[in-house]
Amino acid sequence: MTFSITGFDGTGKMGVAVATRYWAVGARVPYVRPGIAALAVQAYAQPYIGYDVLNMMANDPELDGPTALQTVLDQDPGKEWRQVGLVDARGNVQGFTGKETVAWSGHDVSEDCVAAGNMLVGQETVEAMTEFFGNNPDLDLPERLASALQAGHFAGGDKRGQQSAAVYVVDREEAPYVDLRIDDDPDAIAALMRLIQDTRDVELVRSAHFSRTRESPTVASYIAHRESLREEGLA
């Protein structure tokens, strides 16, 4: 059904990259809150797993992500149908794969990420994702997550192919650092990679998507963009 990687980079950024053979996966799998945790909730997914874990942690600053996730899953009658990857702001990493998820299903936990998937070609998909993530610490987190997702696809991916993909990353600000989605495309992961690269090539768009703070985008970037439009005869 779905494969994902959830990770952090030690700077405050954390997030999820995910792909599936179904539309609009970015609207259903990532649950991320700055300073708290990032989760990918998938398989026969129950969105309130994500909401409840984040709310529980927000209400109890001493609570770590794995403990919150275990508490929520223990109260879920559909627990064995779920799959979850989690990282929290303290650096804790946790994966869960229920016994009723569609084979091949499983997860691979590394020092700073967890890859998970179900209805996959095989285990090599999740292993390829964590390996890529661990071997490329210098990439900015959105590109690192999305590229790891692509590595998982190249290693086998979803048995049925792909239709949608997304990457969602937060930093210390309330607004997302990156929120990019491909909702309906037979080559969704490649389209997501192109979108990440395209946003880096245009300063105004880069500011809007890669630096969401109260200070950016700047007025200077608006002026530069307006000038480029004038040069093209569009403004």
- Say which CATH number the domain at 66 has: 3.60.20.10
Identify whether 148 is part of a domain.
yes
**How many folded domains does the chain comprise?**
1
The model's pTM: 0.91
Identify whether 194 is part of a domain.
yes
Identify whether 171 is part of a domain.
yes
pLDDT along the chain (235 residues), means of 10: 95 97 96 98 97 98 97 98 98 98 98 97 98 97 97 96 96 90 98 88 56 70 83 89
DSSP 14-71: EEEEEEESSS-GGGTSEEEETTTEEEEEEES--HHHHHHHHHHHHH-TT--HHHHHHH
**Cβ–Cβ < 8 Å for 69, 53:** yes
Q: What is the pLDDT of residue 83?
A: 98
Q: What is the pLDDT of residue 174?
A: 85
Identify whether 208 is part of a domain.
no
Q: Which residues contact 186 (CB under 8 A, 6 or more apart)?
A: 161, 162, 163
Identify whether 224 is part of a domain.
no
What CA–CA distances, in Å, run from 25 to 50, 57, 109, 164? Answer: 15, 25, 22, 6
Identify whether 215 is part of a domain.
no
The size of the chain, in residues, is 235
Structural domain that includes position 173: 2-201
Token pair for residue 178? 């990156």
Identify whether 218 is part of a domain.
no
Identify whether 113 is part of a domain.
yes
Q: What is the pLDDT of residue 224?
A: 81
